[in-house]
A and B are shown apart, each in its own frame.
Chain A
Amino acid sequence: MSLRVLLVEDDRELRMMLRDALAVEGYEVHTAASLSEGLALLGGLAARSGRSADTGTDLVLLDLGLPDGDGEALLAALRQRHAIPLIVISAREGDGQKIHLLDAGADDYLVKPFSIGELLARMRVALRHRGTAVAPAVTTYQRGPLSIDLAAHEVRLHGAAVHLTPTEFKLLARLVRTAGQVVTHRQLLADVWGPECTEQTHYLRLYMAQLRAKLESDPADPQLLLTEPGVGYRLAD
């Protein structure tokens, strides 16, 4: 069974183009041109699937500036009950907006214009983390010379064990669990240092620098621990 994508986008051209492109990739695409249509479709698909915990949708692509309201309302409605991945696609590029939506539960944020290749890659990442609440959490990571096994508390580079301090490990582990996804500064600080430290971004700078020094071949041109300026960090996927 193909994966079902709900696409909420008011621009007709972009909606058609995305629908076709996603259909080519084998997704079953349902489109909505407004907030109310999106919400109705979400309810309708859930009813059709016949399972109360299921939305009948595997992933939502959500535009923000909709004719009858802001897409954020749909995000809020969805997050009250479901953990299905949602990617925001919007022309608004302020980082304040990005951080706000990511913290509100969006899985990712793509600024228009974007390429289809980038959208598909982000969708794959989001789907992989689908249902993190029920599915077993990601505990291993392997990319290039780096392999990480969270359960065994083990980080290896070119096969050799790398010594990390407890805080460094906690920070890395947090990124591994959502590899490929942006984690905002606030989320990282709250998860690693505690909710009272969410403003101390300079902790992050220092510890990310230390992690890069230990894990990257050229810390000034990182390939693994990527920075999303003004938003957060992403472990390459």
Chain B
Amino acid sequence: MKLHASDSFELRGVLPASAVWAFGWGAMLALDGRLDLANIAMVLVLASALATLWLPISLSLLLTALSVAAFNWLFVPPRHTFAVDLRQDALLLAAMLGVSWIVAGVVTRQRMLASRARHHARQAEQLRSLTEALRDADDPLQRGGLLRDALAEVLGQAPKLLLLRDTMPSSDQPSAVVVIGDPDDHERSGLWHCMRQGHAFGPGTGRHADLPEWYLPLRGRGSAFGAAFVRLNLAERADDALRTQAQALCDQMGLVLQRALHARAASVAREQAQAQGVRNALLAAISHDYRTPLATIMGAASSLVEQGERLSVEQRRHRAQTIVDESVQLSRLTDNTLQLARLDAPGVQLQLDWESAEEIVGAVLRRVRSRDVQHRVHARLEPGLPLVRCDALLLTQMLENLVDNALKYSAAPAPVEIVVRRQAGCVVLAVRDRGSGVAAAWRERIFDAFQRGERCGAGLDDQARRGAGVGLAVCRAVARAHGGELKLRPRAHGGSSFECWLPEQAPPPCADAEGGIAQPAESRP
């Protein structure tokens, strides 16, 4: 259905108009002889006025003139002639014709105004519904179909559309736009040109008026964000109202696209600002973490340099040991920081292999042994654990961090346990301590790189608690990089259990190569 207005003759108006005239004439014939001429004439004027409601003005005027002539023929003496005897009858006929024509004119004009108002209302309604539909769309780029449908409703045919994805590219890259309606190469370049210029082309636009088509830009503020192409028939070429409406719809889309573009730009900027903020906080936290061991090293080393002569052998040895210990601390901090940066980078590649949890735990025990003089760390592994698809170095680093943490946050001689078990389709690597636990408010924040559980763990000196921040953040990053998660679970009788849940994967086929690999059970005594 075409929406564009037509006040032209409509067939369905003929029926009621004919009925009115038929009824009018019936009444006049019936009243002939009972009422005087002037009264019967009123019936004709009434019928004429009523019929005008449905008929176009030309037909109304014609029918009224014919009716007045017929009235003259039938009722005005001398009857059955067009001659008029009395002057007053002549006046009557003239008044009938005049009044009827004026009424027809007024009614038609009224009808035209009403129809135009309806038309405007329909156009406004269409614009409004398009705007609303677009506003509800998350990504207006995906909703080009809405504009196409709206334009099709106006124009009677589907237009071809070009929608700009992002900012205007320097060349006409197909990847920079969404195309709807499959335009040919000529139309496509026309659409690009129209979008770049931000002007409409075609009949009535003042540009390329000889074209048999319109190129309408999807204008936002300042520039266009797409273009529409529509082929025209002869009548439509001159229809300014049609073009105005189509352009309004196009501009609506242009504004929405522009708004979406701005929103995206704003959100990117916001994310960047946020990332910058996180980075700054991280850098501040890391420098703080570095400063403490550095201060200790500085103190011990400068004491050796400046007081070396006056220190006892034992004191000198103690200073040197301090330097070694703190250097190890710094080195681990560096490892963690680098690892965090690496895991945070997009598209990080892990060195995945089938690893044995037992071996990883063994390597961790060996590494932490030097920091665990009281032998507090123990491992407990469920028998028959499957191989885990993981990056062994990363998991080792994660467990080492967790064990270091557990040693730091719980006082000797409370044990620290590494427990590996299967649960709910996962391999769970847990590090459990009997420390003071983590306050509920800190259970999530403790994994942020620049948070430390300063307020939980009273009773431990600040020295013992430093450096957990980056460490736990790395641990969580490691777990997540493996498609798993690191969780903190408070233990029933005090202490924490840090649990890394890794989804279990189907183990590799253990094909027996002729090199002598055999079923593992074969060699069991």
Contacts and interface: CB of A to CB of B under 8 A. Distances in A.
A191 to B, nearest CB: 10
Contacts of A168: 523
Interface stretch (B55-63, B240-248, B390-398, B402-410): B390-398
A176 B524 CA distance: 22
A220 B379 contact: yes
A193 B354 contact: no
Contacts of A226: 362-363, 366
A108 B517 CA distance: 29
A230 B393 contact: yes
B324 interface: yes
A90 B501 CA distance: 34
Please classify how large the interface on chain A is, using the bins under 10, 10 to 19, 20 to 34, 35 or more: 35 or more
Interface string A204-224: 011111101000000111100
Interface residues of B, number: 39
A228 B363 contact: yes
B387 A229 contact: no
A13 to B, nearest CB: 13
Given A167-B518, A230-B393, A222 B362 contact: yes
Contacts of B518: 165, 167
B354 A197 contact: no
B191 to A, nearest CB: 50
A220 B381 contact: yes
A221 B515 contact: no
Nearest to A219: B358
B406 to A, nearest CB: 16
29 contacts: A93-B335, A95-B393, A115-B324, A165-B518, A165-B523, A167-B515, A167-B516, A167-B517, A167-B523, A168-B523, A193-B513, A193-B517, A196-B513, A201-B353, A202-B507, A203-B517, A205-B387, A207-B520, A209-B520, A210-B520, A212-B358, A219-B362, A220-B380, A222-B362, A222-B366, A226-B363, A227-B360, A229-B355, A229-B393
Interface in A152-204: 163-168, 170, 192-194, 196-197, 200-203
A202 B354 contact: yes
Contacts of B380: 220
Given A205-B355, A212-B358, A229 B392 contact: yes
Contacts of A144: none
Contacts of A115: 324
Interface of B: 324, 327, 331, 335, 351, 353-356, 358-363, 365-366, 379-381, 387, 391-393, 395-396, 507-508, 510, 513, 515-518, 520, 522-525
B351 A96 contact: yes
A212 B523 CA distance: 13
Contacts of A95: 351, 393
B213 to A, nearest CB: 60
Interface of A: 93, 95-96, 113, 115, 163-168, 170, 192-194, 196-197, 200-203, 205-210, 212, 219-222, 226-230
A91 B366 CA distance: 22
A229 B358 CA distance: 11
B206 to A, nearest CB: 66
A109 to B, nearest CB: 13
Q: Lowest 4 A-B CB distances belong to which pairs?
A: A193-B515, A229-B392, A165-B523, A230-B393
Contacts of A167: 515-518, 523
Contacts of A230: 351, 353, 391-393, 396
A210 B513 contact: no
